[in-house]
Amino acid sequence: MMIFTIAIQEFKSHFKTPLAWVLFAVLQIILSYLYLTQVETFDLMQANLVGIDGAPGLTDIVVTPLFSNAAIILLLVTPLLTMRVISEERRNKTLPLLLAAPLSDTDIILGKYLGTLALLWLIVILIALMPLSLLIGGDLDMGKYLANVLAITLLVGAFTSTGLFMSTLVDHPTVAAIGTFGILLILWLFNISKTMSDQPNELLEYLSLLNHFQNIQTGLLSTNDILYFILFVAFFIVSSIYCLANYRSQK
Amino acid sequence: MTLITRINLRIRMKNSFTTMISIMLIITIGWLSNNYILQIDITTSASNTLSLDSQKALNALPDPILITAYIEKGQSIRSQISQLVNLYKEKKSNLTLSFIDPQLNPEVAQAIDTNSEGIILIEYQNRIEKLDYIDENSLTKSFLKLANIDSQSVNIQPKTNSGLTLDLSDTQISLMNFVNLLILPLLFLITGFIIWHKRKAA
């Protein structure tokens, strides 16, 4: 129960600063611009598509690129939202107060994680609503659309857990943000071995965030892709709890 | 050693132990999940499901199949090919796909007479089929040829995707632009400004 109290507190705290609102506005402008450009492209090329066998549909041309772009932009934005979660409490010397409360380390980490994740899921809802306006004049492959929504939902979960871990590890929010961005970018780029090498490294391919994200985007849901994200989150949550417990025992 | 230091040490050891066990568990589940995979295609057009003809063709080839694609590195067609072949791999575990860059292996490329676009070789029981264009139809036909089954009657149509037309009037598009690019961002910015102003006043 205490987890949710912390989560709600954390979620509300994001809206007490203008940062979240400015991010919402910037994301909305960038993503809707990219989305509307894709809609326009589809509008221009649709006459050519009708005659082609197996031609890509509205979902392939508009929805999938929208979610791919959103993933890259969220990779840049998430570190900004997660950098303060624990490190700022440490800098402001309020963390000992939180630790003195009758809460376990797991409560604190999970509460902070869920609070920040709720904010990112709000952004995901904002993105997911955009393509639904196309239903007025066209058909969407709803299965593929839902797969895309699932892919980005799991992806932001992974981003947030990495950000939370870095924020628990270091004192400075900026260092936490850069660290998170670094880890995420490396994990994202592991996928390069897939096209750049004749014998792709299986381990690197498995560790690549982009690889699993793209697999889910195709609409072919696979247990190993979904479990990858769950295990990814579990790994960083466990590591964060370990860091916080270490911090507590040092005090 | 004071009592508190001893207690702290014990807590830290317990923490390290629990974390190690959890991480080992995560790695084990990760390894298992990569070896035992369940898949479900949720697309409306069933674009990730093999047709019955392709499945029958695979059943007719019990021995290992080796697919080698001679395609330059960094080409996006490589991932499209692996995506397609993965659908077959799902039904047949002894099917292997490998890539060779013809630019880096000119002698191999010359020996198999590859064109600039690249070529795909399918090897089964020392017999080889060549393909210069790969999709489900052509790949399944090659499998049927290798299984000595008449492939003429088979014609797998590409899956028809939903939503090939978009019928939006200019007014509707303008409204979408207006709401997405102006109204929503403005709303967020105004709220942010109000909060900033309130904090400043406080």
Contacts of B23 in chain A (CB under 8 A): 235, 238-239
Q: Does A147 touch chain B (CB under 8 A)?
A: yes
Contact B189 A25 (CB under 8 A): yes
Question: Is A225 within 8 Å of A216 (Cβ atoms)?
Answer: yes
Contact A249 B15 (CB under 8 A): yes
Q: Can you give the pLDDT at residue A194?
A: 65
- How crowded is residue A28: how many other Cβ atoms within 10 Å of its Cβ? 24
d(CA B106, nearest CA chain A) in Å: 15
In angstroms, the CA B38 to CA B156 distance is 25
Q: Is the pLDDT confidence value at B145 over 80?
A: yes
Contact B79 A195 (CB under 8 A): yes
Q: Is the pLDDT confidence value at B72 over 70?
A: yes
The CATH number of the domain covering residues in B52-146: 3.40.30.10
Question: Which value does ipTM take for this structure?
Answer: 0.87
Q: Does A104 touch chain B (CB under 8 A)?
A: no
Name residue B123's amino acid: E
Q: Which of A32, A44, A46, A60 to mutate to test the interface with B (most CBs of B within 10 A)?
A: A32
Q: Does A41 touch chain B (CB under 8 A)?
A: no
Where along chain A do its domains lie?
A: 2-46+61-250
Q: Is the pLDDT confidence value at B1 over 70?
A: no
Question: Is B104 within 8 Å of B134 (Cβ atoms)?
Answer: no
Contact B38 A39 (CB under 8 A): no
Question: Is B167 within 8 Å of A137 (Cβ atoms)?
Answer: yes
Where along chain B do its domains lie?
A: 1-38, 52-146
Chain A (67-96) residues lying within 8 Å, Cβ to Cβ, of chain B? none
Q: Average of pLDDT values for B22-46? A: 91
In angstroms, the CA A62 to CA A135 distance is 12
Question: Is B100 within 8 Å of B108 (Cβ atoms)?
Answer: yes
Residue A225 vs residue B202, higher pLDDT: A225
Per-residue pLDDT of chain A (251 residues; tens, 9 = 90+): 789 999 999 999 888 888 889 999 999 999 999 999 999 888 888 887 777 777 788 888 899 999 999 999 999 999 999 998 898 888 888 888 888 888 889 999 999 999 999 999 999 999 999 999 889 888 888 999 999 999 999 999 999 999 999 999 998 999 999 999 999 999 988 877 666 666 677 888 889 999 899 999 999 999 999 999 999 999 999 999 999 998 888 76
In angstroms, the CA A174 to CA A178 distance is 6
